[in-house]
Structure formats: C-alpha cells, structure tokens
Amino acid sequence: MKGRPPHRGSGAKRGPGGFAPRAGTGPRTSAKEAAQRAARNRGEDAGERSPWDDGAAIEAAPRPKRPPRAAAPKADAPRTGAKAAVARAPRAESPPPAAGPTRREQRAAASATLASGVQTLTVAPDEAGMRIDRFLGARFPQLPFTRVQSIVRKGELRVDGKRAKPNDRLEPGSSVRVPPLKLEQPTDRPRSAAKVVGDAEFLRSLILYEDADMMILNKPFGLAVQGGSGTVRHVDGLLEALTGPDGQRPRLVHRLDKDTAGCLIVAKTRLAAATLAKSFRSRAARKIYWALVAGVPRTRQGRVSTYLVKDEPTDADARMRVAKHGDEGASHALTYYATVDQAAQKLAWLSLKPVTGRTHQLRAHAAHIGHPIVGDPKYFDVENWELPGGIQNRLHLLARRIVIPHPRTGQPVDVSAPLPPHMAQSWNLLGFDAARYDPIVEAPEA
C-alpha cells in the first residue's frame, strides 16, 4: 500500500495487514510456555519477561479470559496510499436502499409521536449492539445529542423496564421506553447549495479508502468528530452533505479526539455501521498510533495496564486519571508501546497499540509512565520543560494505521494516514524517518 512504511528488519511472519499473527494462529506452545504467559498476564515473574512487560506500569487485576477469535482469512485487501494524490480504487455504487420513509418523514413522525406523550420503541435486528444514546440519536436525529445524553444520564429512559446507562448495548427485540419530549419542529429552510457542495468536496479530499459500504477519512488536526458546547463545525455535521436522495447518510463508527489526526472510519449504511461497531467491541479492529513524547522511556518496549476513571463523570471531555480496581466508574485500559526513534534524551517517537479503547487512553497512559505527549494541554505536566525551537505546541498524536474486517466480505481493510503538517515538520527537524520499521507490529493483540 502506498504511503505505508515498509516493514524492514524482521523476518517474522506477519498476519493480515502486516501485524504479528494473533494468538492461536502460531505454533503450538508447551505447557510451560502457557503457564509463563498466564503468569505474566497476572503481573507475576515466571522466570522470563517479555519486552512488552513494562515494570513501571501499574498492572491490572486478572480479567476473565475471552474465547479465542478466529484468525481473519488471508486475502489481498484493497489498499490505498497515504498521500491525497494517490489514485483510489473505483468507487462502487451503493446498493439500492430498502423501501421506507425518508429522513424528513421520519423526523416529522418522531416529533408528532413524542409530542403526544410516552412511547415504547422496539430495537430492530440491525440496531443490535448499539449504545442506548446512539440508538436514540439515530431514531430522532432532530434531537440535539447533548439533550440525548442528558436524558439518558438522568435515567429517563427504560430498557425492558430497567434504567438505562449511556453505554448500555441494546439487544434485538428489546423495548425502549421514551418519556414525553418536546422537539423542535423540523424547518424546511433549504441549506445553501454552495455550502453542501463545499462540505462534500472537503470530505472527499480526506478519503484514504472508500467502497460501497465504508470510508476511511484522514481527519485533520483541530476538527471535532462530533458536536458539543461551542462546536459548530464537525465531521458528523459535515456528513450531512453526503446524504443520498433516499435520506441515507454516512454514519460515524468510532471517534477521535479533536486534536488527534488520522484514520477515522465512517459507515455508509446502518448495517455496515452495526457490523463495524461490533468489530471495535470484539477488538477485531487493530490500531496503531504515533506520538512525540517528552523524554525517552527507559524500557524501550512495554505495556501500560491501569484502570482509568473520569475526574468529572458528567463531562464527556473530562480529564482521565489512574484509579484502582473496583473504584466507581473505573475501566481497565491496556496499551502496548515501542520506542521507534529518539532525539538525544529530550524527545522520543513512540508507536502505540491500544488494546482497549478508553477516553484519552493513550494520552493518560503516556503521562502515567512519565512521558506525556508533546502539545497535550490536559496531560503534559513536566516541570521546567521547554518546547524545542521549531516544534509547534500542538498535540503530536496520529491515528497512523487501522486494520479492520470489511463489514460485508470479512477481508481485512488495511489503511495508513500520513503525518499531519505540524508532526511532519517536527519529524523533519528531528531527523526522524517516517519509513523506519515500526516495532509495535510485534506487540501482542491482547
């Protein structure tokens, strides 16, 4: 794939997308090796230590083992380059949509129904696994998402008679009780044709990969993924410009922080969105991030295993802090890291592979091991540290690469994003070669 750094310096056999083979796909291990691996997962010394076991990290309590996943079939996945000028694969036409009400008709019906009082919604099969707040937002797109989150947080929704939490996942056939809501009537004020065309052209300039089911965008630094207080321009709003004649619009599958650049997956259909979301939940989606951090880790390859909790539970963008197992609201977070290159002892280029997907996980973990990411306004706390000349005070974090099973074929889609301008400038100043072999591909998958 053009734009992706070639893998050099290792003769190890790779799985789909160039990642190391998953557990269960390699040679059979002995009982002793299996015991040693289990001991390492518990944070014990089994006589040998993997280079990924970082002694400085806080080890989490053992978690229940999950059944092994089947290895993704090896096949040639469609790939594209990281540069905007690279030729893309032909864009297949989307399949004709199933007959049904248009988006405008759905909005009008939702407003009329909710204005009349309480109603009960039934979860459709293709909505299985959706978060309750995403479900409500999809059913009633004219309801501001901040209002949706407030409704769920206050316990005004009931799922099968029980109070729902924002991150609860829905099962097909479940009943969702929605309280009376007064929604703003949809306006027929037409959008500026020039704005729609401009937004569509802007989004298409970001495409790294596209087919009939999904897109992978190169999200720029500073562009929010979703709206919020004071946020007017964001990816979710821009996607309206790609709404089809039938009212279907592309849907977000996951999110990145506003100041994190790189690979962002967007589904073109509701079925593709549900399938891709399941890939993230089952950890079948594998991600690599690049970061520039202060200092150089003493352990060049390791893992950080902690529990993270929000300082302000009601704030979606609150700072995360390391917590103890069992603390209210704390979730386990696991990250593998590798030092790719360094500039003396001042700065290091880290490659990061998150196993879990917690809010601000990589930023919090980098700060936790004493090497916060350069330009991070929330987590950079090194005293008397001066930014080297020529390096911009912007978050140096890139969602560099993602490998995910295609929602329809199951074949791996492997895409890499280029360095954003401010990181490319830093790499040039420090003499880092973006084509250098990235040792994070050797890290475990779990």
Residues belonging to the active site: 257
Which DSSP string corresponds to 297-338?
A: -SSSEEEEEEEEEESSTT-TTPPEEEE-TT-TT-EEEEEEEE
DSSP track, 327-366: -TT-EEEEEEEEEEEEETTTEEEEEEEESS--TTHHHHHH
Contact status, residue 313 vs residue 387, Cβ threshold 8 Å: no
Of the candidates 181, 205, 166, 45, the residue with the CA atom closest to the CA atom of residue 112: 181
d(CA 225, CA 227) in angstroms, rounded, equals 7
Task: Give the torsion through C-alpha atoms of 422, 216, 364, 285, to 10 deg.
Answer: -140
The CA–CA distances, whole Å, from 119 to 175, 179, 343, 366 equal 10, 7, 61, 46
Alpha-carbon distance of 98 to 248, in angstroms, equals 11
What does the alpha-carbon distance between residue 271 and residue 213 come to, in Å, rounded to a whole number? 9
Q: 145-153 vs 132-139: helix axis angle to the nearest 10?
A: 130
Gap between the Cα atoms of 260 and 16, Å rounded: 26
Closest CA to 79 of 229, 193, 208: 208
Q: How many CA atoms does the CB half-sphere of 416 hold within 13 Å?
A: 20
Q: How many residues does the chain have?
A: 446
Residues in contact with 310: Cβ distance below 8 Å, sequence separation at least 6, in sequence order: 318, 319, 320, 321, 329, 359
Other CB atoms within 10 A of residue 405 CB: 21
The C-alpha atoms of residue 209 and residue 272 are separated, in whole angstroms, by 15
- Determine the Cα–Cα distance for residues 142 and 217; give it in Å rounded to an integer: 25
Neighbour count for residue 74 (Cβ, 10 Å): 11
Token reading at 308? 């993270």
368, 308 contact by CB (below 8 A): no
Identify any residues that bridge with 412 across adjacent strands, giving them in sequence order: 405
Decide: 310 and 320 in contact? Cβ < 8 Å: yes
**Which secondary-structure segment (H or E) carries 376?**
none
